[in-house]
Chains A and B, each alone.
Chain A
């Protein structure tokens, strides 16, 4: 069966510090991968998605970047965190192969507090 791992669960970082959140998927090949953010009082917002190694699409302009160095690894990064980067970050995956009617499976999330 497929599983998705996301870490850390909680992170407190000072403003201006770097960020690296990691997500890995097991039990499937060539998944579509996603990073979402859930800010306080707001709905989930898609930040990045990837359909393959090295292929990253950004949905909104921001202080963050994403990378996919391996098929089942997705990394969210920042060189210098802002206060507005605080939120609950969720990684997700879905089956690829041009099938648009598959469910989305989420990791357990990372609560990031930038102070």
Chain B
């Protein structure tokens, strides 16, 4: 059974810092890995999707890496801003069928002005 773990559970940093969020998964047989952002009481917004054959994806100040063999992914946020404050969730897709994702419990990020 696939399990996804995100560390740390919560992180608070001053504005402007670069930071890394971690995600690990127990079964390396995945189709892809996605990073999402969730604001309080809201739905999820897809940030980056890394296919199993890829090692990283970049969007603006965000960079996500994937090391499938070791079951790890990182989300790097450069020059953090208060608007980046949210919960960040990592999810991996299972082998067969529709996009059935297994989610981690998220990292609650707070950027202090």
A residues at B contact (CB < 8 Å): 6, 32, 34, 42-46, 49, 51, 57, 59, 88, 90, 92, 94, 96, 100-109, 111
Given contacts A101-B31, A104-B91, A109-B41, 16 further A-B contacts (CB under 8 A): A6-B43, A43-B89, A44-B91, A44-B101, A46-B101, A57-B97, A90-B43, A90-B44, A92-B44, A94-B98, A96-B98, A102-B49, A104-B46, A106-B36, A106-B46, A109-B43
Instruction: Known A101-B49, A103-B34, A103-B49; judge A49-B43 contact (CB<8 A).
Output: no
A96 to chain B, nearest CB (A): 7
B residues at A contact (CB < 8 Å): 4, 31-32, 34, 36, 41-46, 49, 51, 89, 91, 93, 97-106
A38 to chain B, nearest CB (A): 9
Look across to chain B and name the residue whose beta carbon is closest to the beta carbon of A50: B98
Tell whether, in the assembled complex, residue B98 and residue A32 are in contact, meaning their CB atoms are under 8 Å apart: yes
Q: What's the Cα separation between A53 and B91 when bound, in Å?
A: 26
Q: What's the Cα separation between A51 and B98 when bound, in Å?
A: 7
Q: What's the Cα separation between A57 and B100 when bound, in Å?
A: 11
From B31, B43, B100, contact of A107 by CB (8 A): B43
Q: What's the Cα separation between A96 and B98 when bound, in Å?
A: 7
- A sample of 29 inter-chain contacts (CB < 8 A) reads A6-B43, A32-B99, A34-B99, A34-B100, A42-B105, A43-B89, A43-B106, A44-B91, A45-B103, A46-B100, A46-B101, A49-B98, A49-B100, A51-B98, A59-B100, A94-B98, A100-B32, A100-B93, A101-B31, A101-B32, A103-B46, A103-B49, A104-B91, A106-B43, A106-B44, A106-B45, A106-B46, A108-B43, A111-B41
A88 to chain B, nearest CB (A): 8
Q: What's the Cα separation between A34 and B97 when bound, in Å?
A: 12
Tell me which residues across on chain B come within 8 A of A44, comparing CB atoms.
44, 89, 91, 101, 103
Of all A-B residue pairs in the complex, the 4 with the closest CB atoms, nearest first, are A106-B43, A44-B103, A106-B44, A32-B98
Tell me which residues across on chain A come within 8 A of B97, comparing CB atoms.
49, 51, 57
